[in-house]
Structure 1
Amino acid sequence: MPTIKQSVFGHLDGGREVQLYTLDNGRGMSVEIMNLGAVIVSLKVPDSAGKIDDIVLGFDTPQQYLTDSPYFGAIVGRYANRIAKGSFTLNGKQYRLYTNNGENHLHGGKIGFDKRLWQAESVSDKKGVGLKLSLFSKDGDEGYPGNLKLSVLYRLDQDNRLSVEYWASSDADTVLNVSQHSYFNLEGHDAGNIGSHRLMLNADHYTPVNDQLIPSGEIAAVDDTPMDFRILKPIANGINSQFQQILYGKGYDHNWVLNRRAESGELELAAHVIAAESGRQLKVYTDQPGVQFYAGNFLDGSIKGKGDVSYQYRGGFCLETQHFPDSPNQANFPSTVLKAGEDFYSQTVFEFSSQ
């Protein structure tokens, strides 16, 4: 029987209380989500032998998500990924954003959506148990125009699918690109290097970057490069190659252009991952045009996570469904402009199984 429970996760500096919501599908899978950053704190999934492990990286206290976190489990925005030099022009006006990644803007700036307390509401219906989180981002927040209203619905069903739905609207033209930023390790959050995971990305092309991980504007074919994941292969196979894009990213940290049918708005398979030992599988479906595959290249053992685990180099991977990085400055990329009064909607589904 699916259930949802609420508890106090902890307190932030200044005494602000953080709530934790546990969604359980009654079939061995559960997810814990807190209202700080709309963060997935834990995700427990059975393996092929029925053993249940927590497969996302994270922390035991909410304060660590503000001070120590490389966006573990968070909803990132207003703009997921990078905007070059923290600047873009919209309707002839230049907007300057907070630069928190060298000279560039990353994942919403200094106080992005991952560092905000959201309003939370439990949901239970025939589709499963869920948690709806809502946030208001005022005009000028981190430099962005428009008063933005955003809602995110996490829903866990009895087929071990965790869906993430997004709704947004603004009273002025703005740009929007939101994504879910969990770090997965299908062997368990404490299992170390993810190189033996086999990955498939449903993409014939990717967007090459410079040494600051800003796209050049080119949409390049993956053929005959380490960026080709069209057939399942171990992540480790090309991650240390001398291919220039790998050198720039210190491994994989790139946006892949998903193969999509002509019809827009439909969920299509973006990625498939299989863990070598546990047999856990993850399939990601989305209506977004891209996915950022990041292989944890900047984890270095210095972050102490859940259960006092030191998260090691490449100890988790991200599959961030998204529009492309720096789209507001790249005319040939799909637009991320949200017009005043228009409604934004998107959905991504994480489907778990074992073999």
Structure 2
Amino acid sequence: MTMSLLLRSLIIFTATAVFANGAEPPTPAAGSAASTQPTTKTTMQIESQAFGTTPAGDEVTKFTLTNTKGHSISVMNWGATLMEVNVPDRDGKLANVNLCFDSLKPYLSGHPYFGSSVGRFCNRIEHGKFAIDGVDYQVTLNAGKHHLHGGKKGFTYKTWDSATYQTDDAVGVKFNLTSPDGEEGYPGTVDATVDYQWNDDNELTIDFAATTDAATHINMTNHSYWNLGGAGSGSAMDHVAVIEADEILDVDEDLIPTGTINSVDGTVFDFRTSRSFGERVDTLAATKGYDHCYVVRGTTGQMRRAATVSDPKTGRVLEIETTQPGMQLYTANHLPGTDKSAGAGMHEAFCLETQHYPNTPNRPAFPTTLLKPGSKMRETTVHRFSVE
């Protein structure tokens, strides 16, 4: 059931749960690692509040989805952005584990893609060039001589339409955007959706979908920066990870895939058995850390495990499952530690961006990102939070 929301209104959806007390669920400050005790609720809730106005005059709304345990996520229609993810540690204390800003202004331009929905094409396209059916296209060059994350005004910097909904066991918000033909140099008018769903198992499901009226390339991802100790709690390099990948894309000095796929065996990229991000991060001097795309083990298009990350200090665990063929590990190598990054500095978070491979339009051997009229792109990623 889809329902419209008035700003600052509270909509409560009925869900089965055991009543503990009548207190409202805690809401940690955005971007803060401060913790509070969760509160069990009898219903799942969606709350909406005004979050600011864009220079174009668009009203931005922040939606907070809270499950019956009092654990919550928040999203907004600017950039179809994931903001807070408030989950407990092993002692039951809540903290936001996703880097975000507490006001709209830092999101309006030049931010590190905190929680952004990235498109039309996430990651890099070499020289911003590709051909479709013999026609050459030039998209925006916004990363030196290359194209990155959809260009200067990609999906990250757009106001999306929004609608809330309820299922039998979850609540969610679906965002929709129409990208006109020629935007950032891409052919075709694209209708894109990003669907965030939150349930009582602390599972965050992100579903991307798109259709087009002309052949074009689509590659969408969510660009969240995680710190399971809590946003703002310091380095995330002590987090321990397992990445379900035997191979990684070979890249040149500009991090553009060459088309070769290398084994991770015996390399700094091998996370097939658990090890901390920081164990070997300093050996990657050229990139200041990890910024590489893994080939997720298993069949592309089928949901399977991509990674498991845990924080030894708090006991929080993040498991990621996806239908996507690849996953970019980025260890926040360029966060400046200023207001531009909500105070977070280098290596104080990590990204695991499920996606198709970078530069796929120029690498025909890679799983295709070409979307044609009459077809639909759909990819799903699940983030599951627990404790150990």
> TM-score when scaled to structure 1?
0.95
Residue 313 (str. 1) matches residue 341 (str. 2)? no
CA contact (8 A) 1:292 1:321 kept: yes
Residue type of the alignment partner of 1:285: E
CA contact (8 A) 2:121 2:218 kept: yes
Q: Per-residue CA shift, 1:207-239, capped at 9, x if unaligned?
A: 021111111111000010000000111000110
Structure 2 unmatched runs, 5+: 1-42
Residue 347 (str. 1) matches residue 385 (str. 2)? no
Residue 199 (str. 1) matches residue 241 (str. 2)? yes
Residue type of the alignment partner of 1:289: P
Give the equivalent residue in structure 2 for 1:32.
Answer: 74
Structure 1 unmatched runs, 5+: none
Q: What is the rounded CA distance, in whole Å, between the counterparts of 1:212 and 1:192 in structure 2? A: 28
Give the equivalent residue in structure 1 for 2:292.
Answer: 254
1:338 corresponds, among 346, 361, 371, to 371
Give the equivalent residue in structure 1 for 2:328.
Answer: 292
Q: Per-residue CA shift, 1:184-223, capped at 9, x if unaligned?
A: 0000111111110001110000002111111111100001
Residue type of the alignment partner of 1:147: T
Give the equivalent residue in structure 2 for 1:99.
Answer: 141
Residue type of the alignment partner of 1:314: H
1:69 corresponds, among 84, 97, 111, to 111
Q: What is the rounded CA distance, in whole Å, between the counterparts of 1:47 and 1:354 in structure 2? A: 6
Larger radius of gyration: 2
Residue 175 (str. 1) matches residue 217 (str. 2)? yes
Residue 229 (str. 1) matches residue 271 (str. 2)? yes
- Identity over aligned pairs, percent: 40
Q: What is the rounded CA distance, in whole Å, between the counterparts of 2:385 and 2:70 in structure 1? A: 11
Q: What is the rounded CA distance, in whole Å, between the counterparts of 1:145 and 1:187 in structure 2? A: 43
For residues 41-190 of structure 1, what are the structure 2 equivalents within 5 Å? 41-190=83-232
Give the equivalent residue in structure 1 for 2:49.
Answer: 7
C-alpha displacement at 1:69, in angstroms? 1.1
Q: What is the rounded CA distance, in whole Å, between the counterparts of 1:275 and 1:161 in structure 2? A: 18
RCO higher in 1 or 2 (8 Å CA, sep ≥ 6)?
1
Residues 48 and 267 of structure 1: is their aligned pair in 2 closer, same or farther, counting only changes over 3 Å? same
Residue type of the alignment partner of 1:296: A
Q: Tell me, what secondary structure is at the counterpart of 1:31?
A: strand
Q: What is the rounded CA distance, in whole Å, between the counterparts of 1:136 and 1:328 in structure 2? A: 22
CA contact (8 A) 2:120 2:154 kept: yes
Q: What is the rounded CA distance, in whole Å, between the counterparts of 2:339 and 2:382 in structure 1? A: 28
Q: Provide the aligned length of Structure 1 versus Structure 2.
A: 346
C-alpha displacement at 1:68, in angstroms? 4.1
- RMSD between superposed Cα atoms in Å: 1.1
Q: Tell me, what secondary structure is at the counterpart of 1:79?
A: coil
Q: Per-residue CA shift, 1:73-100, capped at 9, x if unaligned?
A: 0100000100011111111111101111
Give the equivalent residue in structure 2 for 1:240.
Answer: 282
> TM-score when scaled to structure 2?
0.87
